[in-house]
A and B are shown apart, each in its own frame.
Chain A
Amino acid sequence: MDATAHTHDLGHEHPPKGIMRWLTTTNHKDIGTLYLWFSLIMFLSAGSMALMIRAELFEPGLQFFQPDFFNQLTTLHGLLMIFGAIMPAFVGFANWLVPMMIGAPDMAFARMNNWSFWLLPPAALLLLGSFFVPGGAAAAGWTLYPPLSIQMGMGMDMTIFAIHLMGISSIMGSINIITTILNLRAPGMSLMKMPMFVWTWLITAYLLIAVMPVLAGAVTMLLTDRHFGTHFFNPAGGGDPLMYEHIFWFFGHPEVYIMILPAFGIVSQIIPTFARKPLFGYASMVYATASIAILSFTVWAHHMFTVGMPAAGQLFFMYATMLIAVPTGVKVFNWVATMWRGSMTFETPMLFAIAFVCLFTIGGFSGLVLALVPVDIQLHNTYYVVAHFHYVLFSGAAMSIMAGVYFWLPKWTGHMYDERLGKLHFWTTTIAFNITFFPMHFLGLAGMPRRIPDYALQFTTFNQVASVGAFLLGMSQLIFLVVVLKCIRGGKKAPSKPWEGADSLEWTLPSPAPYHSFQTPPVVK
């Protein structure tokens, strides 16, 4: 670092007032807040779509919606939850926490950081607006497989452009995060001293830069097949719809880890804090995260075992998939070992983190079940798959986000959240989640197909249980909204380190954290 260059243009001590502050901000905390609110709004809107789906599925037969609209709901529920709720929430965490955790003043590229966020609302506008155009929203499922996605109306074009915008946003955000981590660490903060959350985001950002352009390429080929007479996915011209599936899942499988690695990072911050012990096996956690990322590029075809693949291909993708269970198992073992004989207390973040370890593991095991080719051929496209990925994405990704929100809310707002309401939110969420999604395992094993608004009579009971659970789950999230709003408006004053066992750098700053985190880099021993 060059001591001679006095280039301290920290000129926004007084940010512009009102809406312009948020539109033009270059502050990582403001941008993190924008990401988190955007994510919460998308979570609630995509969640209401899920409730509409569950309302329709409460009974066999068509109650509320035509099948086409039902398909639009499942498609947009998936797209908005993945690209609107989960990914932006993790980027919001990265924005708030990475500079504080590594002792930096801000992100490396503050203006580009603003653009990464402000590309998301236009994308959400395109996605939500597509419900109101002729032909309605995309209804091909979030994977947008051709030939369905070639045939649909202009809602599909809007979806494709929305994916382009969200892809640009993710790539710029990731470049920013990687550069910040590699170049703005405080003196003494070597890579192997970084908090686990920073490590997981470094690897996630690498995955994002590697696969988001591939998704952009795939949907661009959809666009030209739709409008410019190309034959990428049309066998009449020598193309193949399966080619799309390969390219899509080359993006799609790393994407799964993009949505879970930061969750691992959050949980790896929370469990040591409340177990009052350092994280067990830090180095092995880093290597496990990196192995998961590398392996994630070699397993994509396990999403397509039923397409008619050579047996050698099926075997390769089956074994590669099962191999991922090894580093994941290392992680679960380390979390449990961290808790082993710790002085544990059970505040809301810890409750969510423990639930994460248990429920994510169930989702991991059902993933192993699905990795087995002969079993997958039975379970492909059934509710077993829906149960599996909601165990990893809701009780995995979403519940780790909630854990993180409770954990860092005191740092963000300067107030303690309402512990009683937080615990209520935890228990209602965990119980309702299991009521909703556990029966789906049975439905899938019994053969109920996913993405269909109607079903055979014998599936009724489990579907009714799931629908009741879903509405409970949806209502519990309103408690979450109340806790967050209450905490922003006031509450017990939070000390700079509200959690006894916390030890990363953000807890050395006052609560709420000052507008600029570290104006001079702290020295890490």
Chain B
Amino acid sequence: MSENKQGYYVPTPSIWPIVGSLALLSLAIGATLLFNDLKGGLPMLGIGFAILVYMLFGWFGTVIRESESGRYNRQVDTSFRWSMSWFIFSEVMFFSAFFGALFYARVISVPMLATQKLLWPNFVASWPSSGPYLTNAFRPMQAWGIPAINTLILLTSGATLTWAHWGLVKNNRVQLKLGLLVTVLLGLSFVTLQAHEYLHAAFSLSTGVYGCTFFMLTGFHGLHVMLGTTMLIVMLVRSLKGHFTPEHHFAFEAAAWYWHFVDVVWLLLFIFVYWL
């Protein structure tokens, strides 16, 4: 197809998608077995996870090799930009389900339970609440300790990442690598502080609706921070290997978009889960 002047890119058949399906099926079966106290759950989960990691290395490796060999033109680049934007939109909607649960509990279900005087005569609506049945007192998370520090860490990491991007655009590789390294370190400190907060929490996932909304929202956010950090580590390794040019580096930008998205979610968490 040398007459194909427009340079459409269509990849050759690939083994990676079906490997990925196998991985997710193993994970689903493993989790089902584990959650129902049946034998083989953990090994199955382990196998599924191993296949998943193998698939991710293989698939992303292929894409990176194709990109570095200059096979992606402007049109492919634009496709990547659209797809990353829509992926982040889907993530926004995923988090909005849990934020919806939080607001529903605070505005509707807890106040309504307090009006059911025949059922729960002593229950008073307040937030944080673990509901009318669980009477154990618990100490909710305070905003102006570790969470405030974490907010500062994430906001700083957004700035250092942008500084790294400026370095990449100016073809200042030292600034790029240094900026990425600092961002990764800040991401790791966030995760470490979050783990510390979890370990010292005076309540758990089963502390009523406060406990479950807290841990689901911050937990899923924490997972996204880990994913984002992993992406940034990959970008750092690729920068060290000399990948990316000032004109052609969408993988870096995609990771940066994702990181800023995770940052924004954290700000909402800080306001609605910790502070107000």
Q: Name A's B-contacting residues (CB within 8 A).
A: 1-3, 5-12, 15-16, 20-21, 23-26, 104-106, 108-112, 114-115, 118-119, 121-122, 125-126, 153-154, 157-158, 161-162, 164-165, 168, 171, 174-176, 178-179, 182-184, 209-214, 216-218, 220-221, 223-224, 226-232, 234-240, 242-243, 246-247, 250, 516, 519-521
Identify 14 residue pairs between A and B in the complex whose beta-carbon atoms are under 8 Å apart, listed by A's number. A6-B2, A7-B71, A9-B9, A9-B11, A106-B8, A122-B25, A154-B32, A209-B90, A209-B93, A230-B211, A238-B110, A239-B212, A240-B108, A519-B8
Which chain A residues border B15 with CB–CB below 8 Å?
23-24
Bound Cα distance A125, B28 (Å): 11
Q: Say yes or no: B17 contacts A112, CB within 8 Å.
A: yes
- B35:A227 contact, CB within 8 angstroms: yes
> In the complex, which residues 225-257 of chain B have their Cβ closer than 8 Å to any Cβ of chain A?
none
Residue B146 interfacial (CB < 8 Å): no
B12 partner, pick from A11, A125, A226, A227, beta carbons under 8 A: A11
Q: Are A213 and B13 in contact (CB under 8 A)?
A: no
Known: A106-B8, A178-B86. 9 other contacts (CB 8 A): A1-B6, A8-B8, A10-B4, A25-B13, A106-B10, A111-B59, A157-B32, A213-B93, A221-B216
* B105 near A236: Cβ-Cβ < 8 Å: no
The interface residues of chain B lying within 8 Å CB-to-CB of A224 are 205, 212, 216
Quick check: A171 and B109 within 8 Å, CB to CB? Answer: no
Q: Is B131 an interface residue (CB 8 A)?
A: yes
CA of A165 to CA of B28, assembled, Å: 9
Please report the C-alpha to C-alpha distance between residue A168 and residue B18 in the assembled complex, in whole angstroms.
Answer: 14
Residue B73 is within 8 A (CB to CB) of chain A in the complex: yes
5 closest A-B pairs (Cβ-Cβ)? Answer: A217-B97, A238-B131, A229-B206, A236-B133, A230-B212
Interchain nearest-CB distance for A191 vs B (Å):
14
CB-based contact A24/B131 at 8 Å: no
Given known A7-B73, A519-B1, contact A111–B97 (CB-CB < 8 A): no
Q: Contacts A10-B4, A16-B13, A178-B86; is A158 near B28 (CB within 8 Å)?
A: yes
Contacting residues, chain B, for A162 (C-beta < 8 A): 28
A304 to B31 alpha-carbon distance, docked (Å): 32
Chain B, residues 101-112, CB within 8 Å of chain A (1/0): the string is: 100110011101
Query: Which residue of A110, A179, A209 is within 8 Å of B10 (Cβ)?
Result: A110
Least distance between A384 CB and chain B CB atoms (Å): 29
A75 to B133, alpha carbons, bound, how many Å? Answer: 32
**A2-B75, A221-B216 known; A15+B13 contact, CB < 8 A:** yes
Shortest Cβ distance from residue A213 to the other chain B in the assembled complex, whole angstroms: 4
Smallest CB separation, A294 vs chain B (Å): 15
Q: Determine whether B7 belongs to the interface, using a CB cutoff of 8 Å to chain A.
A: yes
CA distance A126 to B205 in the complex (A): 28
CB <8 Å contact, A238 and B105: yes
Contact residues on B (Cβ < 8 Å of other chain), bracket? 35 or more
Q: Is the CB of B79 within 8 A of A183?
A: yes
Looking across the interface, which residue of chain A has its beta carbon closest to that of B93? A213
Interface centre among A1, A216, A235, A242 (most CB of B within 10 A): A235
Contact of A213 among B38, B70, B91, B207 (CB under 8 A): B91
Q: Which among A7, A106, A161, A242 is the interface contact of B32 at CB below 8 angstroms?
A: A161
- Indicate if the CB atoms of A24 and B71 lie closer than 8 Å: no
| Closest B residue by C-beta to A251 | B97
Verify if B87 is at the interface (C-beta below 8 Å from A): yes
Instruction: Indicate if the CB atoms of A247 and B28 lie closer than 8 Å.
Output: no
Report whether A229 and B90 are in contact in the complex, using a CB–CB cutoff of 8 Å.
no
B17 near A237 with CB under 8 A, answer no
Given contacts A7-B72, A9-B71, contact A108 B17 (CB under 8 A): no
Complex alpha-carbon distance, A303 and B221, angstroms: 31
The smallest beta-carbon distance between B115 and chain A, in angstroms, is 12
* B78 adjacent to chain A (CB < 8 Å): yes
Please give me the residue from chain B that is nearest to A113 by CB atom: B17
Chain A's closest residue to B74 (CB) is A2
Taken together as a complex, chains A and B put the C-alpha atoms of A455 and B134 apart, in Å, by: 41
Given contacts A7-B71, A213-B93, contact A157 B36 (CB under 8 A): yes
Question: In B80-105, which residues have CB < 8 Å from any A CB?
Answer: 82-83, 86-87, 89-91, 93-98, 100-101, 104-105
Q: Report the nearest B residue to A161, measured CB to CB.
A: B28
Known: A2-B73, A238-B131. A243 touches B90 (CB 8 A): no
CB distance from B71 to the nearest CB of A (A): 4
Given contacts A10-B4, A108-B79, A240-B109, whether A214 and B94 have CB atoms under 8 Å apart is yes
- Which of A154, A174, A236 is the one whose CB lies under 8 Å from B36? A154
* A158 nearest CB across to chain B (Å): 6
Instruction: Write out the residue numbers on chain A whose beta carbons fall within 8 Å of the beta carbon of B97.
Output: 213-214, 216-218, 221, 247
Contacts of A7 in B (CB 8 A): 7, 9, 70-73, 76
**Which of chain B's residues have a CB closer than 8 A to the CB of A157?**
31-32, 35-36
Chain B residues with CB below 8 A from A209, complex form: 86, 89-90, 93
B101–A243 CB distance below 8 A: yes
On whether the beta carbons of A114 and B14 are closer than 8 Å, the reply is yes
Inter-chain CA distance A438–B161, complex, in Å, is 62
> Within the assembled complex, what's the spacing in Å between the Cα atoms of A106 and B13?
13
- Which partner residue on chain B sits nearest A16 by CB separation? B13
Contacts A7-B7, A112-B17, A230-B211 hold; do A165 and B24 have CB atoms under 8 A apart?
yes
Tell me whether B18 and A24 are in contact (CB under 8 A): yes
Known: A6-B2, A238-B209, A516-B10. A216 touches B94 (CB 8 A): yes
Which of B104, B112, B207, B209 has its CB near the most chain A CB atoms (within 10 A)?
B209
> Given A118-B18, A183-B79, A231-B209, is A243 in contact with B13 using a C-beta cutoff of 8 Å?
no
**B7 adjacent to A8 (CB under 8 Å):** yes
Closest chain-B Cβ to A474's Cβ sits at a distance in Å of 30
A105, A218, A237: most-surrounded residue (chain B CB, <10 A)? A237
Does B21 have its Cβ within 8 Å of any Cβ on chain A? yes
A246 touches B100 (CB 8 A): yes
> In the complex, A239→B20 CA distance in Å?
36
A11 to B13 Cα, complex, angstroms: 9
Look across to chain A and name the residue whose beta carbon is closest to the beta carbon of B219.
Answer: A224
With beta carbons under 8 angstroms apart, the residue of A6, A158, A214 that contacts B93 is A214
Q: Return chain B residues, CB-CB under 8 Å to A210.
A: 89-90, 93
| Set B4, B36, B82, B212: member contacting A237, Cβ < 8 A | B212
Residue of B nearest to A228 (CB): B205
Q: A109 near B79 (CB under 8 angstroms)?
A: yes
Any A CB within 8 A of the CB of B130: yes
Q: How far is the CA of A115 from the CA of B15 in the complex (A)?
A: 10
Residue pair A235, B1 in contact (C-beta under 8 Å): no
